[in-house]
Amino acid sequence: MTSALQSTTLNVDPAWIDEYGHMNAAHYVGIFDRVGFQLLREVGVGLDYTEATRCGIYTMNVHVAYLREVLAGDPLALRIRLLEADDKRLLCLMELMQTRDGYLAATMEQLSLHVDLETRRAKPFPEDLAQRLARTVAE
């Protein structure tokens, strides 16, 4: 069972539309990266964590599935789920829904690595954060 975190809503900006009249693939990834990172704050690995500890999560691998197109002005919801966490890694699944018609437009699975920004090396999550991530995955 996976844990659903908070979701957020947004609309497709007309500037994200490509020559085919739908949202360009790069903007899907941009939304997953930018908005997904904001949602990860809820489990303790957002920008406030990075500013306080000089540690953060680096994206190591992503897999994007483009399922249905979205158009300018379409209402979207992004939700994120934690699938797995170990001492240094976090695996998330993000889902982008087009909410007016209720369909799943795209998904992105992302593997992240916890890194000390001073040494630029991987390091274990602090114990309290590791426990919080494990609880979220288990929920």
Q: What is the mean pLDDT of the chain?
A: 94
CB 106 within 8 A of CB 56: no
Q: pTM of the prediction?
A: 0.89
Distance between CA atoms of residues 42 and 29, nearest Å:
20
CA 15 to chain centre: 22
- Which two tokens mark 79? 């939700």
- Over the stretch 67-121, which tens digit does the pLDDT of each residue have? 999 999 999 999 999 999 999 999 999 999 999 999 999 999 999 999 999 999 9
Distance between CA atoms of residues 137 and 90, nearest Å:
10
Q: Is the pLDDT of residue 3 over 60?
A: no
Phi/psi at 62 (5° precision): -135, 150
Banded pLDDT at 124 (limits 50, 70, 90): very high
For 130, counting Cβ atoms within 10 Å of its Cβ (0-12 exposed, 13-18 middle, 19+ buried), the class is middle
